[in-house]
């Protein structure tokens, strides 16, 4: 089995991004599955091109994109990505999105096709704080998840895909409010390893919904 795992470059005022710090340190094999790691830019549109290249060239069995959710206290697999780009912070290409679609005439949303409940359970059993999330936001993390699932649907690929958010690293809380949540890097790495183990051990089609929905 081949699993593609992506992380992001730093953005905003941060000099590190916990997603890539953790993803880049994952072992190359987890529970018998080959793990490929890809660094993505924090850009709404370019990630689609890069993801399509990797889907076509690497032909993974599953893709788990990982991003930063500053302020969250737990590692959170995402349930759904919506067809909306809207944020006060521009992406790294300078695009300031205000209520724009991720894809014109695309489905309203896509559900994760990863075993997200099993991933949460695996983290919790390993002593890692994990929980389901029902909102990936409307910044680049959400659009990346949407692009991934839309590409899988459009290309009719036998690939499971989804997204996981991770908290700030402890060092990122310096200068922020005292109550800002964070996790140490080794904890995030172990959480992602537990998520990947759950993906490997879950049969294709179990606890998944790869179809977009419209209203």
What pLDDT is stored for residue 212 in this prediction? Answer: 55
Q: How far apart are the first and last CA of the chain?
A: 36
Q: What is the dihedral of CA 161, 3, 151, 142, to 10 degrees?
A: 50
Q: Which residues of 6-18 are buried (b: 16+ CB within 10 A; e: fewer)?
A: bbbebbeeeeebb
pLDDT (tens digit, 9 = 90+) per residue, 75-95? 999 999 999 999 999 999 999
Kindly report the pTM of this predicted structure. 0.93
Sorted by where each starts, the structural domains of the chain and their CATH numbers stand as 2-213 (3.40.630.20)
The residues near 44 (Cβ < 8 Å, ≥ 6 apart) are: 85, 91, 93, 95, 97, 102, 140, 143
- The pLDDT > 70 percentage for the chain reads 94
- Is 208 a residue whose pLDDT tops 80? no
- Report how far residue 183's alpha carbon sits from residue 166's, in angstroms, rounded to the nearest whole number: 8
SS3 helix, strand, coil % of the chain, rounded to 5? 30, 25, 45
Sheet (strand 109-111) strand order: 80-82, 109-111, 212-213
The encoded tokens of residue 142 equal: 């959400």
The pLDDT score that the predictor gives to residue 203 is: 60
Mean per-residue pLDDT for 22-31?
98
- Which residues are tagged catalytic? 78, 141, 165
Supply the pLDDT for residue 196: 98
Q: What's the pLDDT tens digit per position in 130-187?
A: 999 999 999 999 999 999 999 999 999 999 999 999 999 999 999 999 999 999 999 9
- Determine the average pLDDT of the residues in 180-196: 98
Question: For residue 32, what are its two tokens?
Answer: 């018998």
Average pLDDT, the chain: 94
């Amino acid at each position: 089995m081949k699993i593609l795992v992506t992380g992001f470059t730093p953005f905003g005022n941060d000099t590190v991004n916990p997603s890539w710090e953790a993803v880049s340190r994952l072992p190359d094999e987890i529970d018998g599955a080959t793990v490929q790691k890809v660094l993505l830019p924090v850009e709404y549109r370019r990630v689609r091109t890069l993801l399509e290249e990797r889907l076509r060239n690497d032909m993974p069995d599953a893709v788990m994109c990982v991003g930063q959710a500053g302020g969250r206290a737990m590692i959170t697999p995402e349930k759904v990505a919506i067809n909306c780009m809207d944020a006060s912070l521009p992406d790294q290409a300078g695009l300031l999105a205000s209520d724009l679609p991720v894809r014109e005439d695309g489905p309203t949303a896509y559900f994760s096709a990863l075993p997200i409940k099993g991933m949460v359970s695996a983290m919790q059993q390993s002593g890692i704080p994990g929980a389901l999330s029902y909102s990936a936001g409307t910044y680049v993390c959400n659009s990346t998840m949407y692009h991934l699932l839309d590409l899988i649907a459009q290309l009719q690929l036998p690939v499971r895909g989804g997204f996981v958010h991770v908290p700030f690293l402890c060092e990122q809380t310096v200068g922020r409010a005292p109550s800002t949540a964070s996790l140490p890097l080794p904890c995030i790495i172990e959480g992602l390893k537990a998520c990947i183990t759950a993906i490997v051990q879950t049969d294709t089609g179990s606890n998944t919904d790869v179809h977009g929905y419209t209203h």
